[in-house]
């Protein structure tokens, strides 16, 4: 059976054209002086939900309920949403016009189905999830119950503290929604201080993979680099890496592959061989990652004319030998 068309947004729902007439946040227009247009609830008080609800409060909306299970999530809710009661998810939906579903990706489909099956969803209610992986279709169960589904994914890493609210200023959000709700979705992002970026439903998995590749893997690389520097005797690896990584990131964002530097891009096969030998000796768990990233870097440097073909042969030979050596013991153990 086809899903019924989503109801038209109610007068209380934010629209992009309404936001353009809204004054910027400042001491002249305090949140408590603005009419609270939407009551806000949070299902899942991880690191993201309370921060987004706090940002919506700054825009004049009113958080009224949050669900939290663990002690850590309860502490986050208390810190970012003081005096907002902690209740069961069904109660959150009963109290809120706008509900933020901020649960792990794998839990989202089941949660949407469960909320719809229990009759907790009200027609005209805005249901927002913050998963990067999914678009709006994962919320089809609540849409069939009359809710208005939005996918608003902040492209930001969260700490679970007040600093997250500040970081939302200028943060891009991956926005996916039914076309008739696009303006409402974009307006909510703008009110939280973010910048809406429209992502087609079918492009959500690729969009999310791109962010994970850049941000999540960056954390792993930096953590490994700091560990190796400590083993090399560096007392403050964070202080050493900060300016270097900041400059590298800035250069990469400005120039892409043209910003590549270092022994791989230069074709210094001997240096790379020495790196592999040292890593194998002091941190064998980093060898596979180093070789994989070095091969990818070499491929991109070759494709963009940064790595001279006559130097690439020896370099790729070193990387191939390193990969074979890394795989060899595993094969013997099978």
Sketch the domain layout of the chain as residue ranges: 16-199, 206-333
> What token pair was written down for 150?
């939005």
pTM of the model: 0.82
Q: Does 145 or 12 have the greater pLDDT score?
A: 145
> Is the pLDDT reported for residue 17 higher than 70?
no
Percent of the chain at pLDDT above 90?
84
Alpha carbon distance 88, 285 (integer Å): 43
- State the virtual CA torsion across 158, 72, 41, 130 in degrees, nearest 10: 30
Beta bridge partners of 63: 40
Within 10 Å of residue 165's Cβ, how many Cβ atoms?
Answer: 19
pLDDT band for position 322 (50/70/90)?
confident
Q: In what order do the strands lie in the sheet with 148-154?
A: 62-67, 39-43, 98-101, 126-129, 148-154, 172-176, 195-198
Alpha carbon distance 308, 302 (integer Å): 7
* Vertex 119: Cα angle to 113 and 13 (nearest 5): 90
> Is the pLDDT reported for residue 216 higher than 60?
yes
Tell me the per-residue pLDDT of 27-68, one tens digit each, with 9 for 90 and over: 344 444 444 589 999 999 899 999 999 999 999 999 999 999
Within 134-236, residue ranges assigned H as helices are: 140-144, 163-167, 182-191, 204-211, 217-231
Within 10 Å of residue 278's Cβ, how many Cβ atoms?
Answer: 14
pLDDT at 7: 41
| Contact status, residue 85 vs residue 65, Cβ threshold 8 Å | yes
The 8 Å CB, 24+ separation contacts for 118-121 are 118/90, 119/145, 120/89, 120/90, 120/93, 120/94, 121/93, 121/145, 121/146, 121/147
Instruction: Specify the fold of 16-199.
Output: Rossmann fold (3.40.50)
Supply the mean pLDDT for the chain. Answer: 89
pLDDT at 37: 86
pLDDT band for position 307 (50/70/90)?
very high
What is the mean predicted confidence (pLDDT) over 227-232? 98
């Amino acid at each position: 059976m086809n899903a019924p068309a989503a109801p038209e947004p109610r007068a209380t729902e934010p629209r992009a054209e309404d936001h353009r007439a809204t004054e910027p946040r400042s001491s002249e227009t305090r949140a408590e002086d603005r009419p609270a247009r939407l009551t806000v609830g949070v299902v899942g008080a991880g690191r993201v939900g309370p921060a987004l609800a706090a940002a919506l409060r700054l825009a004049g909306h009113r958080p009224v309920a949050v669900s939290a299970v663990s002690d850590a999530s309860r502490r986050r809710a208390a810190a970012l949403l003081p005096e907002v009661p902690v209740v069961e998810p069904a109660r959150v939906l009963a109290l809120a016009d706008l509900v933020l579903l901020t649960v792990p990706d794998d839990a989202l489909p089941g949660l949407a189905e469960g909320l719809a099956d229990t009759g907790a969803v009200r027609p005209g209610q805005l249901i927002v999830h913050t998963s990067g992986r999914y678009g709006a279709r994962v919320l089809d169960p609540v849409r069939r119950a009359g809710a208005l589904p939005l996918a608003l994914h902040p492209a930001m890493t969260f700490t679970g503290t007040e600093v997250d609210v500040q970081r939302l200023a200028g943060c891009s959000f991956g926005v996916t929604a039914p076309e008739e709700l696009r303006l409402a979705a974009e307006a909510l992002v703008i009110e939280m201080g973010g910048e809406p970026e429209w992502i087609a439903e079918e492009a959500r998995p690729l969009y999310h993979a791109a962010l994970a590749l850049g941000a999540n893997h960056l954390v792993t690389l930096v953590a490994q680099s700091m560990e190796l520097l400590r083993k090399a005797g560096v007392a403050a690896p964070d202080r050493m890496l900060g300016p270097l990584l900041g400059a590298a990131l800035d250069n990469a964002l400005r120039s892409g592959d043209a910003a590549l530097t270092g022994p791989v891009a230069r074709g210094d096969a001997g240096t790379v061989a020495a790196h592999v030998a040292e890593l194998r000796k002091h941190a064998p768990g980093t060898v596979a990652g180093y070789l994989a990233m070095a091969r990818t870097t070499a491929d991109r440097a070759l494709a963009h004319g940064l790595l001279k073909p006559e130097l690439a042969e020896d370099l790729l030979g070193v990387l191939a030998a390193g990969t074979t050596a890394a795989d060899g013991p595993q094969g013997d153990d099978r």
